[in-house]
Amino acid sequence: MNRFGILAALAVLATGQAWADQPVWGTFNGDLAATKFADAATLTPQSVPGLVRAWEVRTGDVSDGTGEVPATVWSATPIYANNTLYLGTPFYRILALDPATGAERWSYDTKSALETLTQPALKNRGVAYWESGAEGPCEKRVMIGTMDATLHAVDADTGQPCTEFGENGVLNVNKWNETNAIFPFSLLQPPTAVGNTILIGWAGKDWAHTVEPPGNLIAVDARTGELLWDTGFIPPEMIPVTGTANIWSSMSADPELGLVYVPVSSPSPNYWGGNRTAPIPLATSITAIDIETGAVAWSFQHVHHDVWDYDTPSAPTLLTITRDGESVPALVQTTKQGFIFVLDRRTGVPLFPVEERPVPASDVEGEQVSPTQPFADVPTPTINHAALPDVWPLADTLSFGQCSRDRETYRYEGLYTPPSVQGTFLWPATAGGNNWGGAAVDPRTGILYVNTSQVVQVIRLIPRAEFEAEVEAATADGGDASGNEAGLYAQEGSPFGLELFEWRTALGLPCWKPPFGTFAAYDLNTGERLYERPFGLAQQWGFYGLRDWGSPTLGGPVVTSGGVVMIGASMDSRVRAMDAATGAELWSDLVAAPAVSIPAVFTHEGADYVVWAVGGNSILKPEVADQVVAYRLGTE
């Protein structure tokens, strides 16, 4: 090797070493295993009370919906890679920021129309990052999707479009939307890059119609956007009568096994299944797919014939656990219904017992729910399914007994009580339990950390002949004609519309006894729950609830190697650091709205940073924001 070659080799080694020493946050969940584990050793229970704001940025991409622009929902996880912080916004722009100062390096505007084509609000969960390993323009790329189904790829250093990708850097993903195409493939969740393959899921509105686009996973070449394969989740013979079972959430992957693990959602429509009584084995499942071919390797359906919208909500987390003295490559899936399924990720076989148990039958004409559903008692579910939470005496008293009367009115016979015309309690609510924020896992210990909403809803099916009259009555005072504000949904094509609402008093107090949200830790090697405690503060009319009441949450946690959990997610617009060992709160800060996102935790130029996109979500409370806020330890 000549002198130049030796120097080049040393340069490569040096670059590689620098990369290895610098923990990145390269995907929505931090890594392809979706652990949400950050090797940020300085963030310890002793140090985090000293966290200070390093910088704050307002993107300007926000709307409360009162003007011409629809309301925004922003749940992006910042990506830290290439010594830069990348963010997607709900106006479908990419921002590249200096991680140390927040100064903008470049921005890219997709110029996507700001229209709510498939969602109640403009929505974005961030960007994806891909790099080839070579040097040169577009060898490192940032990708963002839009609600109108385009995927944009730009150079990570300059923000210029990568012209070899799609058409001049823009891939029209909707060209593969060929069946029942009544809405576009909305790309709200960033795609997943595995090697040189970009894996694309999409969002729709599976509550709206009976027949909709059938869900699929699309794999394209990272350089060109060329279609590699397309795997569908609805059996071909069912496509004329139903749809979706799509992937709207994030994914995880094991490149060594060559598998991508996808959270598949429920078929359409969400709350009535009389059109789809034949089995749809891949719906509401965790499915492993061969990255090279798109073939289904295995699938685990955790809800049969889903009529509760219990979509698989988050990327399964991959880790190694110890069983009978042996290391087992495992996968753990938190679910809306509160089960924590732990599977062998090579085969999909459960590592803790999963039992098919009888569940209540439907009393709705034409509906045929499954007679059994899978139950996993270990690890202990994050939701107590044994009974509906008790009526909260405070709310019952203040409502002159409304809550008690409701309890007698609506149907509840345990988990998976089907929707009914009389009204059925949904416990847990359709948003979970556990939602897209998923869980964090410390891979060194096999301990899982997860936030859970403890919320009760009521669902009432409305015969078609009565539905329009109910919509008219609900909107007679000038409410939203689409029915969104009143919680009325048409489920077009089915014999029933529906009404969905939280079980509250007329004054807005929850009718069920607190806590409304919890945080828990589990040892996945044994299935033991280590602790569970109320988390966050609920808020109504500005007033905060008591600590013991907790808060519903949206967004997820990150655990650091120093033993701290960083999490926003609560109604009270706080971001928090908690002791991973006990769940005790160590530090908090008030931000502009609920931080309904997963933070990015990374090390930049020797300092550990925690960065949240703070955007809010009307599911929790009306405040929206466009704040990016970064924290690091204060200098002594």
Nearer to another protein, 4 or 543 (CB): 543
Give yes or no for residue 618 binding another protein (CB under 8 A): no
> Judged by CB under 8 A, which stretch of 77-85, 347-355, 394-402, 539-547 contacts another protein?
539-547
Written as six digits, the tokens of 623 are 């405040």
Structure-token match 């049969």, residue found: 304
> Judged by CB under 8 A, which stretch of 235-243, 318-326, 483-491, 541-549 contacts another protein?
541-549
Nearer to another protein, 187 or 591 (CB): 591
Instruction: Provide, rounded to whole angstroms, the least separation between the CB of residue 509 and another protein.
Output: 13
Residue 551 corresponds to which amino acid? S
For the chain, the first-to-last Cα distance in angstroms comes to 49
Per rule CB under 8 A, count of chain residues that contact another protein: 11
Q: How far apart, in whole angstroms, are the C-alpha atoms of residue 204 and residue 215?
A: 9
Nearer to another protein, 251 or 624 (CB): 624
Instruction: Provide, rounded to whole angstroms, the least separation between the CB of residue 573 and another protein.
Output: 5
Instruction: Provide, rounded to whole angstroms, the least separation between the CB of residue 575 and another protein.
Output: 12
> Judged by CB under 8 A, which stretch of 170-178, 258-266, 390-398, 587-595 contacts another protein?
587-595
Give yes or no for residue 465 binding another protein (CB under 8 A): no
Nearer to another protein, 387 or 590 (CB): 590
- Residues identified as active-site: 309
Nearer to another protein, 7 or 546 (CB): 546
Ramachandran angles phi, psi of 5, nearest 5°: -65, -40
Give yes or no for residue 1 binding another protein (CB under 8 A): no
Beta pairing partners, 128: 143
Give yes or no for residue 542 binding another protein (CB under 8 A): yes
Q: Considering only CA atoms, which of 461, 232, 493, 488 is closest in space to residue 369?
A: 461
Give the CA diameter of the chain. 88
Nearer to another protein, 415 or 569 (CB): 569
Secondary structure of residue 36 in the 3-state scheme: coil
At 609, which helix (H) or strand (E)?
strand 607-614
Give yes or no for residue 506 binding another protein (CB under 8 A): no
- Single residue of 96, 388, 592, 595 touching another protein by CB under 8 A: 592
- Residues within window 212-241 making contact with another protein, judged by CB under 8 A: none
- Single residue of 20, 386, 477, 543 touching another protein by CB under 8 A: 543
Written as six digits, the tokens of 266 are 């429920």
Strand residues in 158-215 grouped as ranges (E): 170-172, 192-194, 197-200
> Judged by CB under 8 A, which stretch of 189-197, 266-274, 335-343, 590-598 contacts another protein?
590-598
Q: How far apart, in whole angstroms, are the C-alpha atoms of residue 50 and residue 633?
A: 6
Nearer to another protein, 240 or 508 (CB): 508
Give yes or no for residue 544 binding another protein (CB under 8 A): yes
> Judged by CB under 8 A, which stretch of 341-349, 519-527, 528-536, 588-596 contacts another protein?
588-596
Sheet holding 37-38, edge to edge: 37-38, 558-560, 564-567, 574-579, 585-590
Q: Which string of DSSP letters, residue by residue, matches 566-608? A: EE--BTT-EEEEEETTT--EEEEEE-SS---SPPEEEEETTEE
Written as six digits, the tokens of 208 are 């709206």
Give yes or no for residue 541 binding another protein (CB under 8 A): yes
**Contacts for 526 with CB less than 8 Å, ≥ 6 apart:** none
Q: How far apart, in whole angstroms, are the C-alpha atoms of residue 260 and residue 249?
A: 13
Instruction: Provide, rounded to whole angstroms, the least separation between the CB of residue 576 and another protein.
Output: 14
Instruction: Provide, rounded to whole angstroms, the least separation between the CB of residue 54 and another protein.
Output: 18
Give yes or no for residue 573 binding another protein (CB under 8 A): yes
Q: How far apart, in whole angstroms, are the C-alpha atoms of residue 303 and residue 309?
A: 10
Chain contacts with another protein (rule: CB under 8 A): 537, 541-544, 572-573, 590-592, 625
